[in-house]
Amino acid sequence: MGWLIVIAVVLLFAFEVPRVRLRYVLSQAFPLPYSKILRKNLPAYSKMPTDLQMQLKRRIRQFLYQKTFVGCGGLEITDEIRVTIAGKACMLLLNRSSEVYPQLTHILVYPSAFVAPRKEMLNGGVVTHTNQGLSGESWSDGRVILAWDQVALNSHNEMHGQDVVLHEFAHQLDSESGQTNGAPILNSTAAYQAWSKVMESEYSGLLNAINHHHGTVIDPYGATNPAEFFAVSTEAFFKKSEQLAQHHPALYAQLQSYYKVDPRDWV
Ligand SMILES: [Zn+2]
């Protein structure tokens, strides 16, 4: 009997208390300064219909409650950093998921491009260590790493269509399936078949365009591998929606059916 009470108390603290606390957090009004930050750094926010704005604010609150931001390289984490990153990340969840990156726990933010020491396995099994300056990185162990100056730059330059936050969080969605391979979780076998057919054809189209030195709507970095292709396509979907829909209608349709929004409505 005593054990049953102990188990009941443990279960209560493990499951029910966090749920009640989250419900409380979500019931609070969205702080006005946060809305100001969204209007300043997330231009799409002001143009979204009210329903999507409400969804976005709810997910941002959940994101800020559940994830830990860590300032690196001397950077002090501010509300602007937290709300801007959470806002962009949660834009990928509208209309489709009440779960907010369940595997993600930490967002590490550097002031500018950071150096990631890495081991690379080359042909013949030789391991080398290289240092690269990076603006973002996504790890499947629950971490995203970002350079704040790049995040801020992407927020205020809508024209070039790049966005490191959208890019890294697309990788997070991709890795939720257990593999980071360019196919996020889809809800049917038919959806996977349609997805891989379109992605394979668009991916080889990009390789072909690069080989022939043609200009591309999709960032040529997407030619690195299918995972990068999904990440840069996500950037283009949200930031160059009209161009992507016009030049790559099949790819746009796949992304629209996955993300369940049409960012052209916000232009
Ligand atoms: Zn990437």
Return the higher-pLDDT residue of 20 and 55: 55
- 256-266 residue pLDDT tens: 999 999 999 98
Question: What is the overall mean pLDDT for the chain?
Answer: 89
Amino acid in position 43: P
Alpha-carbon span 68 to 99, nearest angstrom: 16
Q: How many CA atoms lie within 13 A of 109 on its CB side?
A: 26
- Angle at which helix 148-156 crosses helix 79-91, to 10 degrees, equals 60
Who's near 179: CB < 8 A, 6+ residues apart? none
* pLDDT over threshold 80, residue 37: yes
Q: Is the dihedral of CA 174, 180, 186, 192 positive or negative?
A: positive
CA 34 to ligand 1 centroid distance, Å: 28
* pLDDT over threshold 80, residue 174: yes
Numbers of helices and strands, H then E, in the chain = 12, 6
* pLDDT over threshold 50, residue 124: no
CA 214 to ligand 1 centroid distance, Å: 22
CA 116 to ligand 1 centroid distance, Å: 14
What pLDDT is recorded for position 134?
84
CA 27 to ligand 1 centroid distance, Å: 35
Q: Tokens at residue 21, please?
A: 């606390």
How many percent of the chain have pLDDT more than 90? 70
Contact predicate 81/144, CB 8 Å: no
**Residue 106's beta-bridge partner residues?**
68, 143
DSSP state letter for 55: H
Least confident of 55-69, 146-160, 234-248: 146-160
Q: Tokens at residue 153, please?
A: 């730059």
90-118 average pLDDT score: 89
Alpha-carbon span 125 to 24, nearest angstrom: 53
> What are the phi and psi torsion angles at 23 (to 5°)?
-60, -40
- 202-245 residue pLDDT tens: 999 999 999 999 999 999 999 999 999 999 999 999 999 999 99
CA 47 to ligand 1 centroid distance, Å: 28
CA 106 to ligand 1 centroid distance, Å: 18
Spell out the domains of the chain, with CATH numbers in brackets.
177-267 (3.40.390.10)
CA 227 to ligand 1 centroid distance, Å: 7
